[in-house]
Amino acid sequence: MYALTTLFNFEDQPVFAEMWQKLQKKCGLVTANESSFVHLSWQGAQKYQLDLAREHLAEIAARMQAIPIKTAGIGLFTGSKPVLYLAVVKSPAVMHLHATLWDRLHPLSHELNAYYAPQDWVPHITLSYGMLLPADVSCAVAELMFEPLSVELRIDNLALIYLQDGSIGIDSRFDFSG
């Protein structure tokens, strides 16, 4: 399984470093960086035609400049593998990049996840997923509900990450250079 993402390093963001220290200490949460990567997902598929996908991503990234984004609180996707996330405010630049990525990579994918289709996509930064218990979520919400999580970040890369045979890794990363 693959995901087209933007990766973030929250250790460089004091607000998030403090938030995660609190959530780890008080709630026992495992962050996405411990089990995967803190990321914004643009698309997900079982497989891509990787050589062509990498070519398209390199071309797109070479033309892109960093896009500022704002977070707008926390959210939870429910299901068998719940996801705790930071909501990302939709902006024209974010929506345009998403549409471009969808159009260019959709034909190169196999079993594309429909949740990422332009009409259904909810931009978010995955913080923790899969290993959440109800008590973890309750604790996280109680800890964060009064925190001002409206923070500016930058989308400055595209990365293909994979999950195969229990292994998670970065297939390729393309930093914006436009």
Domain CATH code at residue 139: 3.90.1140.10
Assess contact for 103 and 35: CB atoms under 8 A: no
Q: Cα 62–64–174 angle (5° rounding)?
A: 50
Domain count, the chain: 1
What's the pTM? Answer: 0.86
Distance CA 97, CA 109 (A): 18
Q: How far, in whole angstroms, is CA 58 from its chain's centroid?
A: 19
Is 31 a residue whose pLDDT tops 70? no
> Which residues span the domain enclosing 36?
2-175
Q: What are phi and psi of 108, to 5 degrees?
A: -100, 5
The mean pLDDT of 93-116, rounded to a whole number, is 94
- Which of 32-41, 44-53, 71-80, 113-122 is least confident? 32-41
The mean pLDDT of 83-93, rounded to a whole number, is 91
